Structure 1
Amino acid sequence: MTDSPDIHALFERTLTSSGDDEDDEAWAAVRELRLLGSREVFDIAVQWLHDKDPLRRQRGADVLAQMGVGRERRSAFPIEARDALVVLLARETEAEPIASAIFALGHIGDLAGVAQTRRFAAHDRQLVRYAVAFALGSCADDPANIAILMQLMRDEDEVVRDWATFSLGERGDADSEEIRNALVERLGDSFFDARLEAIMGLAKRGDPRALPALLEDLLHPDGETRGAVSAACRLLGLEDAPKEWRGADYAAALEKKFGSQALKESSPD
């Protein structure tokens, strides 16, 4: 007799809700199955990809996304999981399983699998486009992925724009005038998070056009965010944020380094 969990019972628990609230019982079961990361878990998850119930197909993909990840272990069966997920994408018509498969391929991070997600960039469901923006970020320096991410940075949905901007600007290291201009365009985004990701992406590339928006955030009463501080440190060449500094201190240091006239000239307006 063993104390090992009942794997089939855990899989059934993943069906107790269909949402994406990672604090609920269903997601607790998904995480436990991922941590087990065994061949038995893998085989059942793959079987579920072929089930007639779309929720089972969705949960199969959710489990495969991070098989064995955690406790200092690397992903188990990544290539086999990739291939099974690509097969699912080739025939799937329901948005939720499609999105879960795309998220999973993004977690696995293999370019051959991630490339299969590009064709869903114009999907009519926000969830699917969001998944694509996430997945492409795992291989953000691939030229084809860069082109799709720049497209998604103009998406009508703010979360999609935010993740596309984060994927290209922060997760990726590629640098070009086209990439920088796409990031500058997002400095005027009405969604604060997307705007902040643009600031951070430009700061990562040493582009002073981030400065006016960055200063505005640093000097705003609620604008001294970790992202703004990180962007300021990058432009100032600081490895660590001085503990005693506040937003005004970073702003003063930036003005000293770049000059007030340079800050005005760097404005995208």
Structure 2
Amino acid sequence: MTYHVLSGLPRSGSTLLAALLRQNPLVHADMTSPVAQLYIAQLQAMNASVEMHHHFDTARRRRLLRAVFDAYYGDADVRPIVIDTHRSWTCMLPGLVDLFPATRAICCVRNVGWVIDSLERLARKHPHRLSALFGNRADATVYERVEALCASNGMVGYALDALKQACYGAEAGRVLVVRYETLCRDPARVLARIYAHLDEAPFEHDTANVQYEADRFDLAVNTPGLHRVRRGVSFEPRDTVLPPDMFAHLESFNFWERPDVEAHGIAIV
């Protein structure tokens, strides 16, 4: 079994990309899995107790952490190339690389203004549902919602900080940054680059027939459509629903567009 990770910013194409990659009979890819949380819980359990942590030397820690992956993906029908999705993986790459030296990270990005715009549209599409993504507040303004999302522990802010850590860290050469716009406009190019990044044989995908939904998960956070992928890959330009001052401010968060990023060894498509 070969393990890789899919991470990056929310609303930036990771669900679409997973839906495409799973067309390959050798690749297991899906929406956010519980593996990262199981990994974190295992790691914390081995370090939390002063009375117990001396039982775990480095070799035992590594065996137990590898077992999280092997146990979760141990079903006979799981495909040999596993791409696990979670936004936390970008801040845990050193540990993953230690366990699985072949691991590579695929990180989806999108202009942060459009990420927030996409989330705000979901909130306005269902005005009588109070989404857990925004703290379940009925009287919050768009400015308050964006502040919560962009906080260091918010859905977007956390993912952005973790992505920066991966892009500027020692494992930067293992990261492939995938722009949402490129994925939608030229999916064949992106997929070819991903297979090269993973050192796997290319596969011909059907980008005109790709659909995915996770309605049970989306309803659990009271945000229908959060992980729904429409049939066919395309890019649809639109006007933002955000106030102009807010959208302009959010564009300053797009650090991957700065020239110094590629100097750190990051591949961007």
How would you bin the TM-score normalised by the shorter chain?
under 0.3
Bigger strand share: 2
Q: What TM-score does the superposition give when structure 2 sets the normalisation length? A: 0.26
TM-score (norm 1): 0.26
| Greater relative CO (CA pairs within 8 A, separation 6+) | 2
